[in-house]
Amino acid sequence: MTQNPRPKVPRRALDGVLLLDKPVGLSSNDALIRAKRLYLAKKAGHTGTLDPLASGLLPLCFGEATKFSQDLLDADKTYEATMRLGIRTTTGDAEGEAIETRDVACDQPAVEQALAQFRGDIVQVPPMYSALKRDGKPLYEYARAGQTIEREGRQVTIHVLELVACALPDVTFRVTCSKGTYVRTLAEDIGEALGCGAHLVMLRRTGVGALTLEHSVTLDALSDATESERDAWLQPVDALLSTFPSVQLDADATRRFMHGQRLRLADLSVGDDVLQAARTRVYASEGKLLGVARVGEGVLAPERLIVTA
C-alpha cells in the first residue's frame, strides 16, 4: 500500500535578526539550520562562523536582514577566552593533539606584561587549521593531509586586551579585535612571548559590533517556545545598522530613493553626523527602514534597499 507523502510545511517570509547564544559542540551552520527550521523561515544566513569549540553570540539574519550581514562580518568582535600555558597543540586549541609541553615559570605580572605587547596593530600569521583558501582549497584540508602551506602575516587590530583571571597554568582574558583576528593564534603568540607556549581551551563571543549577548536566546529556549514567543526574540533589521547615522526622507524623496535615484544632500534635512559619515541608514517619514546609502560628493546614493510587498 502506497503511503501518501507528508504535506510540506509552508515557509514563512520573516525579516529580522536573531541573537543566538550558540552552544559548544555545534557548528555555526548547524545552529543556523536548526533556528531556520524552528522559525519555518524561507531565507536565513549567519554573520560569520564560530568554531564548534566556541560558544556565544551568533547573529542570524532572516529575510531582508541577510542583505546587511556583511556589515557584521566586517565589525569588531569581543570575546572572553581561556588559554592553557605550557602546552602547544596541532590546532592551537583543545581540539588538537598536544605537540609540545614546556614548564610554566611565569607569574601574573609577567602575563600582564605579555598581554600589553599585543595591544594595538599587530601582525598575525593565519593558522593552518582555518577556512582560508589556497588554490581553491581551505587550509585545514592541507593541514589534515599533513601539509604546511606558507602563509603571509596579516595586520589586525587588538582594541582591548585585558586580564580577567590568572589561575596558572590557565589564563582568562577579554579581547575586542578587528575582523580577521584569530583568538587561538593570539593565545599561541602570547604563550610564545611567555616562553612556555599555550593553546585555547575556552572561547566565548560576547559582542559583534554593537550587538551583545544581553538579548540573546539559546536553541533550547527556542525549541520550548511558542511561535509568538520566538517571533518576539527577533530584532528588527536595523539592529544590524545601529552604528550608522540615520536620514529620514519625505514622501517624494522616498519614492525617488526607492527607484535608485541619487539625492542631493543640500535638498535634505541631515545632521553633521551624516555629512561626516561614509554610509547611513535611510528611513521613510513614518519610520520604516528603506535601506542603506553611501554619502559623498554632496549626494545620498542608494546602496542596498529593503524590498517591500
Q: Tell the residue number behind the cell numbers 547611513, with chain if given.
A: 280
| Predicted TM-score of the model (pTM) | 0.88
Alpha helices, DSSP H, located in 194-271: 219-224, 227-232, 251-258
Task: Give 109's contacts (C-beta < 8 A, 6+ positions apart).
Answer: none
Per-residue model confidence as pLDDT tens digits over 180-205? 899 999 999 999 999 999 999 999 99
How does 284-297 read in b/e, with b if 16+ C-beta sit within 10 Å? beeeebbbbbbbee
Helix (H, G, I), strand (E, B) or coil at 90: coil
CA atoms within 13 A on the CB side of 122: 24
Per-residue model confidence as pLDDT tens digits over 116-137? 999 999 999 877 666 677 777 7
For 252, the grid coordinates are 517624494
Contact 140, 104 (CB under 8 A): no
Per the prediction, the chain carries an average pLDDT of 91
Query: CA 72 to CA 208: how far, in whole Å?
Result: 7
User: Residue 101: pLDDT above 90?
Assistant: yes
Would you state the pLDDT for residue 295?
94
Task: Give 110's contacts (C-beta < 8 A, 6+ positions apart).
Answer: 194
User: Residue 65: pLDDT above 80?
Assistant: yes
Helix (H, G, I), strand (E, B) or coil at 248: strand
Would you state the pLDDT for residue 19?
96
Helix (H, G, I), strand (E, B) or coil at 192: helix
Query: CA 59 to CA 168: how far, in whole Å?
Result: 33
Summarize the confidence of residues 134-155 as an average pLDDT: 76
- CA 165 vs CA 16, 24, 74, 112, 147: distances in Å: 37, 21, 29, 11, 36
User: Residue 1: pLDDT above 60?
Assistant: no
Task: Give 11's contacts (C-beta < 8 A, 6+ positions apart).
Answer: 40, 41, 42
Summarize the confidence of residues 58-83 as an average pLDDT: 92
- CA 304 vs CA 195, 280, 282, 289, 301: distances in Å: 49, 11, 10, 11, 10
- Domains detected in the chain: 16-75+211-239 (3.30.2350.10), 77-208 (3.30.2350.10), 244-305 (2.30.130.10)
Task: Output the CA torsion 27→29→33→35 (10° steps).
Answer: 70
Query: CA 48 to CA 228: how far, in whole Å?
Result: 27
DSSP 54-89: -EEEEEEEEGGGGGGHHHHHTS-EEEEEEEEETEEE
Q: Which active-site residues does the annotation give?
A: 51
